[in-house]
Amino acid sequence: MSAPSEPVRLVPMTMADLKRLVEGSVLSTGVEIYDAKLVLNVSRSGRRLYADVKGRSTNPYTVVIDLAGEGRDLEKVRCTCPAARFRGAGVCKHGAAVLVAWASGPGSFVEVPAVALEAEEPEPKKPKRGVPKRGQVDAEEQIRKGLASLETLLAELAHTGLGTLTHERVNQIREVAKNLRPLGLRRLAPACLELADILEVSLTKHGDFSANAYAQALAVLTFHIRGLARLIERTDTPAEDYRRLADELLGRTWSEKGLTTVSGLRLLDLGYRKRATPDGFVLEESLLVDVATGDLVVDRLIRPPIIAKRQPPKENFDHVVLAVSDAGVYPGYPPRRIKLRAFDRRPPTPEDVSRLLSSVPDSADSLLSRLKEYVADIFAPRPMMCVYRPASVFVEGHRIYGVDRSGNGVEIALGDIGLDVLERAFENGPIQLIAGSFEMGKDSLVIVPFSILTGDPQRPALTSLPQE
């Protein structure tokens, strides 16, 4: 697209527009970059914005943004940062910072003729890769080097064991993690930090060290490293599969254009939770179930702590039904993330509950088949989230099972606090439904419950369980 040579009148962009166009966590980071005065040399030619943004690289990143229509929509956003290549149609944090600058002060953008800026626009990548010029970095090569560094550290750790572990080695892993997030590897960075935290415990509090947590952290990192390596090298991946894999492995940010629009849903809120990720971000999410299909979706908000303190928390829907007239579903594995654009809150009706109960698995065998199919995909995140309708509850010693009509049980894993909450929930009536994460235990399926539905369809009661 060529920038227009005649003056163009643009409608000022608002914060509401920014929230509509840019993913929440990316926009929050963009605000931080703008507040730190890292957006430089801003200029405009028609509907095209230009700016330099200081980042981790020696040279600032060049951002070029083409506005659409009256200026409140985006046609294209380009940036020379390594992460931009892996965001598809999404906006990177540097592009977000320039949009914040534009919304905050359009008058600060110097109006320049198109010819004066034509040479500054980043050139599109050619099909055949040549040698990068000085100051330019190949994004895939940077990611390969990051993965190689982490893989080397893990190999050395596996070879030497924990007996020779030092604080220096733990700090090396933390440093690698810090360098992964700017490359767009938002899933891998917190997993790396989680391993560092576990290793720190082994150095300071030997009694609290969990061998299972250590083994699981190593498995998660190995899964991500191998998966990313395969994803970078593959050129035959179907578009939808690539979108799903990229969301899981890279934590890619998607624009509105990358979402699948849906409407006419009735989503029952199963519960809200808030926690901090290993790399310090504040994650808030509501788990929702489609009453017509039993499929799970999640309404999620991730923000840096400094932004989370300034802004109100994500809404807790408090177990109501959301009648959704407009929403966007992100690529990814179930439960898929959903962006709620327009909806009404309504109390759950007996028809909602009856319809939901008829659509979810009601046997341990069907759950087991679903779990086997799920884990057959090596890229699918663990554990599997699902909803189960037991016929009754059976207690054997210190174990509790949700038993189906054939007598097969799924163990319900709860701590002391969870058992107290479960006991109080049974005062509402018999158990109707359990939502949570499933995995294979030593001798049976195990569910770590997120919430349970008790009572009868006429007077249902949803109870959220503590995540201990």
**Rounded average pLDDT over 315-321:** 95
**Rounded average pLDDT over 158-181:** 77
Q: What angle do CA 248, 249, 254 make, to 5 degrees?
A: 60
Q: How far apart are CA 260 and CA 257, in angstroms?
A: 8
Q: How far apart are CA 381 and CA 334, in angstroms?
A: 9
Q: Which of 57-61, 126-130, 260-264, 331-335 shows the highest mean pLDDT?
A: 260-264
DSSP string of 92-117, one letter each residue: -HHHHHHHHHHHH-GGGSEE--HHHH
Residue 3 has pLDDT above 50, yes or no: no
Question: Residue 175 has what pLDDT?
Answer: 81
Q: Which of 51-60, 67-76, 86-95, 156-165 shows the highest mean pLDDT?
A: 67-76
Q: What is the mean pLDDT of the chain?
A: 81
In the chain, the amino acid numbered 376 is: A
Name which of 6-20, 204-218, 300-314, 397-411 the model is least confident about.
204-218
Question: Residue 376 has what pLDDT?
Answer: 79
Say if residue 331 is preceded by a cis peptide, omega within 30 of 0.
no
What confidence tens digit (pLDDT) does each residue in 397-411 have?
888 999 999 999 999
Other Cβ atoms less than 10 A from the Cβ of 229: the count is: 16
Confidence of residue 69 (pLDDT cuts 50, 70, 90): confident
Residue 203 has pLDDT above 90, yes or no: no
DSSP string of 170-202, one letter each residue: HHHHHHHHHHHGGGT-TTHHHHHHHHHHHHHHH
CB contact at 8 A, 462 and 449 = no
What confidence tens digit (pLDDT) does each residue in 243-290 have?
666 666 666 667 787 889 999 999 999 999 998 887 678 899 999 999
In the chain, the amino acid numbered 108 is: S
- For the chain, the first-to-last Cα distance in angstroms comes to 54
In the chain, the amino acid numbered 76 is: K
Residue 118 has pLDDT above 60, yes or no: no
CB contact at 8 A, 18 and 28 = no
Name which of 28-32, 216-220, 381-385, 425-429 the model is least confident about.
216-220
Question: Residue 405 has what pLDDT?
Answer: 94
% of the chain at pLDDT higher than 70: 80
CB contact at 8 A, 18 and 245 = no
Greater confidence (178 vs 82) lies with 178
Q: How far apart are CA 209 and CA 432, in angstroms?
A: 37
Strand 445-454 and strand 431-440: the pairing is antiparallel
Confidence of residue 241 (pLDDT cuts 50, 70, 90): low
Question: Residue 182 has what pLDDT?
Answer: 66
Name which of 44-58, 81-95, 271-285, 387-401 the model is least confident about.
81-95
For residue 176, which of 163, 158, 194 has the smallest C-alpha distance?
194
What confidence tens digit (pLDDT) does each residue in 381-400 have?
778 999 999 999 998 888 89
Question: Residue 236 has what pLDDT?
Answer: 54
**Rounded average pLDDT over 105-124:** 61
Q: Is the dihedral of CA 142, 145, 149, 150 positive or negative?
A: positive
CATH of 360-464, one of 1.10.287, 2.40.50, 1.20.120, 2.60.40: 2.40.50
Query: Quick one: tokens of 18?
Result: 């920014």
% of the chain at pLDDT higher than 90: 35
φ, ψ at 399 (rounded to 5°): -110, 145
Single pTM value for the model: 0.62
What confidence tens digit (pLDDT) does each residue in 430-462 have?
999 999 999 888 888 999 999 999 998 888 899
Residue 63 has pLDDT above 50, yes or no: yes
